[in-house]
A and B are shown apart, each in its own frame.
Chain A
Amino acid sequence: MAGPVTCEYRRRPDLFRATCFLASVLTILLLVFIFGEILTKAWPAIHRFGFGFITGVQWSPNREVFGVLPVLIGTAASSLLALLIALPLGMAIALFLSEDFLPESVRQIIRFVVELLAAIPSVVYGLWGIFVVIPIVQQFGTVLSEHFGFLPIFAGPAYGNSLLTASLVLALMVLPTITAISRSSLVAVPYSLREGSYALGATRWETILGVILPTASPGIVASAILAFGRAMGETMAVAMLIGNSQRLSWSLLSPSNTLSALLANQFAEADGIQVSALMYAAVILVLMTLVVNLAGEMVLRQTQRATAGLR
C-alpha cells in the first residue's frame, strides 16, 4: 500500500491537535465560569456593602454586619510570618543542596525528603499542629507574654490556637515550594560564573554570597512569592490552628482568622446575605492569590530569560 502517504495527515483534520486545543480552551472557560459564578453570587453583598466590606472590622452575621478587615490582616500576617520563617530556612536548604558539600546520592535523598513535605495532606499538618505545635506555643507564649507583654505583638493572654501557631505550620508547608524553586534557580547559575569568581581569588563563601545568590535572586524571589500565594490559600490546617476569631489584634499570640478558613467554617450554615458576603470574601481571596501568583510567575519568567542570556 504505497500510496501518497506524505500528505495524508494534512488532508484529514488533525484530531490530536483539536482535542488538545479543546481541552485547553475548556480549562480557561472553566476558570472564567467559576469566577463569574462567584462574582454573581457575591453581587448582592458587593452592591450592599461596597468598599466598607473591606474596611469594616466587625463580622456579625446575626446583625447582618459584615467587615473583613481583621480577616484580611490575619491572612496577610499569617502568610508573611510563614514566609519570614520559611524563606531563610528554604534558601539555606536550597544552597546546601546545590553545592557539593555532600555526595550527590545523599543530596538526592535530602531533596526527596524535603519535597515529600509537599505531599503530606493539609489535615495531617493540622493534627500535627494540634498535638505538637500548640502545646509548645502555649507554654512559650505564656512566658513570652509575661516578660515581653508590653510589646503589642506579644501581648497576653497567650493562646495555643494563635496566629503564631498557624504561621509556624504554614512555614513548614511552604518550605518545599521555596526549596524546590530556589534550588533549580541556583543550579541554573552557569558554571562559568563560579569559575570566574574562583579565578579572581574569591573563596567559596564569597562566591556564594557575591555571585551565585545575586544571580539566582530573581528565582528565589519568585519562590517566595509563589510560597506566599500557597500560604494565603491554605485552608484546612489553618482552620484547625488559628483559633477562628474575627477580632482585630496586634498580638501574635492571639487567635486570628484567614479568608479561606472563614469560608470553610461558615459556608455550610450560611443563608441569605451571609452567603453573598462569604462569596464577596471569596472574590477578594481569588483576586489576591491571582495577583500574587501572576507576580511570581512573571518574576520566574524574567529569571529564566536572564540566566539564559548568561549561558
Chain B
Amino acid sequence: MKHILAAVAVVITGLANQAMAVTALNGSGATFPAPLYLRWASDFGKTNSSIAVNYQGVGSGAGVKQFGDGITDFGASDVAMTDAEIAKVGGNVLMLPATAGTIVLAYNIKGVEGGLKLSRAAYTGILLGTLKKWNDPLIVKDNPGIALPSLPVTVVTRSDGSGTTAVFTAHLDAVSPEFASKVGSGKSVTWPVGLAGKGNDGVTALIKQTPGAIGYVEFGYADNNKLTMASLQNKAGNFIVPTIESGAATLASVVLPENLRAFITDPEGANDYPIATFTWLLVKKSYSDQRKASAVKEFVNYGLTIGQQAAPGLGYITLPATVVAKVQAALETVK
C-alpha cells in the first residue's frame, strides 16, 4: 500500500512539475484576425515549448468582455476599447495594433468577372438603397468597358454585431452626410436595404448564392473564397483595387497617436485603399503573475516581428516598421 501511494505521489509531482514549466496564455476576441493569431500561436509554440498560447475567435465584443472580466490573459478587438470600457478594467490595459486589414465590397454579377469600379456616390447609393439596378447611370459612367445587366442590386450586410461593420460604417459615415444621418456608425446598425448573414462566412455565402449581390467582407475572407471585388474611389478621386499593396499604402500614411488608437475613416493618399483598419491586441499593463507578463511580451513581440511575415499570405497587411517600433516600445512597459 505504501509503495503504491509513494508511486502515485511521484507521478502527481511529476505532472505538476510539467504543468509548472508550461505557461498557458489564454486569449479571445475578434474573428477577423483569428487565422493570423492562430498561425502565430502554432508557429510560436514550435520554438517556445514553455509557453502555450490558446486563442479563440469569439468576436470583438465578447473578447473585450472576457478580457475585462479577467477570464483571458489577452484580448483582441477590431475596434479599440472605448473610454468607458477602459475605465471598467481600471485602466489596466494596453491596446497594441497587431495587424491590419482592409474591407472590400464583393459582388456577384454574371458576366462581370472583375474590374468593376464604384465611385463614392455609387457605393454609398447602393448601401443606402437609392441605387436599385446594376445598370444605373451612376455605375455605368465609371465602367465604360463593362456591359452591366439590368439586374436588381441585392445588398448583403451583417446580421450580428461586428467590428467589420463598425469599420465599414465609420467610413461611410465619414464619406456621406446622408449615411451619417440615416444609418450612422457602429458594430450593429439598421441597414436601409438588403439581406443580412451571420459572420464573414454568412455574408460570403449569401453573396455567392444571390445573383446581383454585393456585400462587405474582410479582404482575407474575400480573397480565400475567390469573391470578385470592386475597386473603390478614394478621397483623392482614384479608383483603387483592393490588394495587400494598396492596403499597405493606406497604413503607411497613418500617423499613430501616443495611445496607439488610430481610426482610419477616410485616408487621403493618392494610392490609398479607402477602407482599412488596424486590429488590436489587448494586454494588461501589469500582470499579477510575472511568468504571464513575460510570456505575453514574448508572444506579442514574436507576432510583431517574425509573425508579420505570415500576414500577407493570409490576406493581412504587414505593419509598417514605424508602427512596429512604437508598439514594441509600448510592449516593453508591460509588467
Please give the residue numbers on chain A whose beta carbons come within 8 Å of chain B beta carbons, in ascending order.
58-63, 130, 134, 138, 156-157, 159-161, 239, 243-247, 255, 264-266, 268-271, 274
Contacts and interface: CB of A to CB of B under 8 A. Distances in A.
26 contacts: A60-B190, A61-B161, A62-B169, A62-B185, A62-B187, A62-B188, A63-B186, A156-B152, A157-B132, A157-B152, A159-B210, A161-B206, A161-B210, A239-B159, A243-B195, A244-B195, A244-B196, A244-B197, A245-B191, A247-B190, A247-B192, A255-B194, A265-B160, A269-B61, A269-B188, A270-B188
B308 to A, nearest CB: 28
A265 B188 CA distance: 11
B62 A268 contact: yes
B65 A161 contact: no
A268 B209 contact: no
A268 B196 CA distance: 16
A266 B159 contact: yes
Given A62-B185, A159-B154, A269-B162, 9 more contacts: A62-B187, A134-B209, A160-B210, A244-B198, A255-B195, A269-B59, A270-B61, A270-B161, A274-B161
B195 A274 contact: no
B86 interface: no
B196 A59 contact: no
B256 interface: no
B205 A130 contact: yes
B147 to A, nearest CB: 21
A45 B185 CA distance: 22
A17 B177 CA distance: 70
Nearest to A64: B186
The 6 closest A-B pairs by CB, nearest first: A62-B186, A269-B161, A244-B159, A244-B196, A61-B188, A269-B61
B198 A61 contact: no
B189 A60 contact: yes
B320 to A, nearest CB: 30
B183 to A, nearest CB: 8
Contacts of B62: 268-269
Interface centre among B60, B132, B191, B194 (most CB of A within 10 A): B194
A271 B162 CA distance: 12
Contacts of B162: 269
B195 A159 contact: yes
B165 to A, nearest CB: 9
B209 A269 contact: no
A160 B161 contact: no
A62 B160 contact: no
B184 interface: yes
B130 to A, nearest CB: 14
A59 B210 CA distance: 25
Nearest to B153: A157
Contacts of A63: 184, 186
Interface string B187-228: 111111011111000000110011100000000000000000
B175 interface: no
Contacts of B194: 245, 255
B140 interface: no
Interface of B: 58-62, 64-65, 132, 152, 154, 159-162, 169, 184-192, 194-198, 205-206, 209-211
Contacts of A270: 61, 161, 188
Contact of A268 (B64, B160, B169, B190): B160
Contacts of A59: 190
Contacts of A269: 59-62, 160-162, 187-188
Nearest to A134: B209
A60 B159 CA distance: 12
B228 to A, nearest CB: 19
Contacts of A61: 161, 186-189
Nearest to B162: A269
A161 B184 contact: no
Nearest to A265: B159
Nearest to A270: B161
Contact of A130 (B185, B186, B209): B209
Contacts of B58: 268
A268 B195 contact: no
Nearest to A156: B152
Contact of B65 (A245, A271, A274): A271
B198 A265 contact: yes
A270 B190 CA distance: 14
A53 to B, nearest CB: 15
B29 to A, nearest CB: 11
Contacts of B160: 265-266, 268-269
B186 A268 contact: no
A274 B188 contact: yes
B188 A268 contact: no
A87 to B, nearest CB: 29
Nearest to B60: A269
Contacts of B191: 245
A123 B327 CA distance: 44
B2 to A, nearest CB: 40
Contacts of A244: 159, 195-198
B175 to A, nearest CB: 17
A134 to B, nearest CB: 7
A100 B72 CA distance: 65
B61 to A, nearest CB: 4
Nearest to A239: B198
